[in-house]
Structure 1
Amino acid sequence: MLLQAALNGSRSREEHPAVPLTAAELRDDARACAAAGARMFHVHPRDAAGLQTLEHDAVLAAVAAVVPFGPVGVTTAFRIQTSDRDRMLEQWRAAVRQTSVNLSEPGALDLTGSFADRGIAVEAGLSSPGDAELLADGGWRGILRVLIEPLVDEPPEALDAAAAIHAVLDAASCLRPRLQHGGNEAAWPLLEDAVRRGVDTRIGLEDTLLLPDGRVAAGNAELVAAARELGAGSP
């Protein structure tokens, strides 16, 4: 059971002063999170203005900064614009080993196939039972891991959604590794549920700014340490 650190997401410095944006900040944060128990990472590369980007130079810098501390996946969220997605894919071939694709987003099937053709593994994001059914229908290539990530913040509804996704995957005999996580109020309940299920999980400033007791975390490493105390991750 592995623990992933989601270092920044779409968070801004206005939301939390410790959100890492530059490659150097990502490097230092990944080092601290690895020391606290994280074994893999997820990042949203930023440009010089601190905005999310999929452009090659920023992606290469972010990956190079974090990968010495463990495998690192890069977002491909559809809302992040890029000037030329085909060119992006070719440029990523040399540097990116894994990425996340939300199966509910437009073009997800083609995008996962394009990554597979370039030797880039995909973490398949499932936010609903419908997404799980899409995966179960087949035709997806290069899926490294399934991300169970309900998009609701209310813990009871998020836990119900996660259980429904697991049920679809179980019924389809989906044997791919699973990582379950949530955001905001649902982050810690879904992490604890993942521990009970014995599946991978993640935590970080992308998902929550708060520790389990409601205090604002100092940063990603403190969130990772708190997750380890709850039993997340391998020794």
Structure 2
Amino acid sequence: MENPAAHQVMITVAPTGAETSKLACPALPTTLAELVQTAQECEAAGAAMIHVHIRDAAHQPSLDPAALRETVIALRESTGLLVQLSTGGSVHDGFAARLAVLDAEPDSCSLTMGTTNFGDDVFANPWPFIVDLYRLSQERQVVPEFELFDLGQVHSLARLLREHGLPFGGQVHVDLVMGVPGGMPGDVPTMVAAVAALPGEVTSWSATGVGRSTLPVALAALAMGGHLRVGMEDVLTLSRGVPVESNAQLVSRAAELARLAQRPPMAPEQARRLLGCAPR
């Protein structure tokens, strides 16, 4: 597996997620205006892509098609970031609504490679749904980011590529989601095992450390040539007892670590080439 941009780091910001409530975390960007401002701040801090979950007027997770399309348009008009929409939604969303996310024409979409125990809930991704979503992404020319929550999903990715070919754009990018209760732990031995097991078609990979695994995962990924995903979807504290005030704080810290590792953050257009996304 080659990483054509190993000397630079693509930073993805995941600013909102579907789990944290606005009441519990008022700084969470849940309105379109908040999301646009967050995107602009994070791009200035070094982010190249934004992983988007949206909320409704009551700040609850939503997959409303019109709101998703409006969000994609607003982010493209206000930033240069690659726009990646979550097809996971919340654990309560149905498969049809999750497939319809691609109607909003994002640059990229998440594509989780298996069902995962997610805390007390179940994040359902059965094989037929994975195939349907993958074929739709190829048809719609949307680049998938394969989200891998455990080592079994690494092997499922190999099967998907073998049976259904490469994604649109010809590049294969994966994100190791580590530290979720019910998924693989966020530690170095697990990352080493996961990266070693990635199929040869993989051209780049990133890692997400959830909760307390955020910094260990980021440091290990930088050392191993991986890219980074950070954001308030995944962690709400900078250190024990110190809450995150904005997503830009997390992006700035990731960018600082990347520069210390002599792998400076890449610009959105570089990330577009890395992932094989269509030109705007």
- The TM tier, using the shorter chain, reads 0.7 to 0.9
| Residues 210 and 235, structure 2, Cα contact 8 Å, conserved in 1 | yes
Which residue in 2 is equivalent to 1:4? 12
Which residue in 1 is equivalent to 2:100? 88
Q: CA 1:55 to 1:139, structure 2 compared with 1: closer, same or farther past 3 Å?
A: farther
Secondary structure of residue in 1 paired with 2:186: helix
Residues 1:234 and 2:241 aligned together? no
2 CA distance for matches of 1:80 and 1:72? Answer: 23
Q: CA 1:174 to 1:32, structure 2 compared with 1: closer, same or farther past 3 Å?
A: same
Alignment of 1:1-235 (within 5 A): 1-10=9-18, 11-67=20-76, 68-77=79-88, 79-81=91-93, 84-85=96-97, 88=100, 91-92=103-104, 95-104=105-114, 105-106=125-126, 107-137=129-159, 138-140=162-164, 141-142=166-167, 144-152=172-180, 157-159=185-187, 160-169=189-198, 172-212=199-239, 215-231=242-258, 233-234=264-265
Shift of 1:216: 1.2
Shift of 1:90: 6.7
| Residues 26 and 65, structure 1, Cα contact 8 Å, conserved in 2 | no
2 CA distance for matches of 1:114 and 1:83? Answer: 13
After superposing the two structures, state which structure 1 stretch, 223-232 or 122-131, moved more. 223-232
| Residues 6 and 203, structure 1, Cα contact 8 Å, conserved in 2 | yes
2 CA distance for matches of 1:87 and 1:126? Answer: 19
Alignment gaps of 5+ in structure 1: none
Q: CA 1:25 to 1:90, structure 2 compared with 1: closer, same or farther past 3 Å?
A: closer
Shift of 1:15: 3.0
> Percent of aligned positions with the same letter in both sequences?
27
Secondary structure of residue in 1 paired with 2:195: helix
Aligned residue pairs total 230
Scaled by the length of structure 2, what TM-score is found? Answer: 0.74
Greater RCO, 1 or 2 (C-alpha within 8 Å, sep 6+)? 2
Alignment gaps of 5+ in structure 2: 1-8, 115-124, 267-280
Shift of 1:50: 1.6
Shift of 1:64: 2.1
Shift of 1:84: 4.3
Secondary structure of residue in 2 paired with 1:132: helix
Post-superposition CA distance 1:206-231 (Å, at most 9, x none):
01111157521211011111112222
| Residues 39 and 70, structure 1, Cα contact 8 Å, conserved in 2 | yes
| Residues 115 and 121, structure 1, Cα contact 8 Å, conserved in 2 | yes
Scaled by the length of structure 1, what TM-score is found? Answer: 0.87
Shift of 1:91: 2.9
2 CA distance for matches of 1:32 and 1:199? Answer: 23
1 CA distance for matches of 2:84 and 2:186? Answer: 24
Shift of 1:118: 1.3
Aligned alpha-carbon RMSD (Å): 2.5
Larger strand proportion of the pair? 2
Q: CA 1:13 to 1:83, structure 2 compared with 1: closer, same or farther past 3 Å?
A: same
